[in-house]
Amino acid sequence: MSEFPKLRTGAPAQYPATKCIEYRTTVLKFLDGTEQRYRESGSPLRRWELSFRLVDEDEAGRMQELFEVSNGRFGSFEFEDPWEGMKKRECSFAEDEMEWKLDGEFRSEGTIVIRETNS
């Protein structure tokens, strides 16, 4: 399984970064107005929004390469949670587009959203 690349400092992300926890719940509404709810996943799933600034071309290129190998949201990879320091095995990109701004050496920037797909 592929692994989300770390920065040359060894860190999995830069700050500021945000993390949220979400539950997947389906709500069925019946004709009489009542509802039935059930969880699609037994445990909460995590989502990270990571902003990268002043990264070099190699770091940005490795992230772009993983995105291409994963076919955007389609593939999965391991990601080290910056808050917990634990690897999450089933993660994917949350979007099918990745945009990097290159302004020269050590001047790349972009935002990546990663989501946990299965706990």
- The pLDDT value given to residue 106: 67
For residue 77, what pLDDT band results from cuts at 50, 70 and 90?
Answer: very high
Please give the pLDDT value at position 53.
87
pLDDT of residue 43: 82
pLDDT category at 75 given cuts 50, 70, 90 is very high
21-64 pLDDT tens trace: 988 889 999 999 999 998 887 788 899 999 998 888 888 889 99
Tell me: pLDDT of 2 over 80: yes
Reply yes or no on whether the pLDDT at 92 is more than 90: yes
Average pLDDT over residues 64-82: 93
**Contact by Cβ (8 Å): 110, 98:** yes
Among candidate residues 71, 54, 77, 46, the one with its CA nearest the CA of residue 7: 54
List of long-range contacts for 79-84, beta carbons under 8 Å, 24+ apart: 79/3, 79/4, 79/12, 79/48, 79/114, 80/4, 80/6, 80/12, 81/12, 81/19, 81/46, 81/48, 82/11, 82/12, 82/13, 82/17, 82/19, 82/48, 83/19
Q: Indicate the pTM of the whole model.
A: 0.78
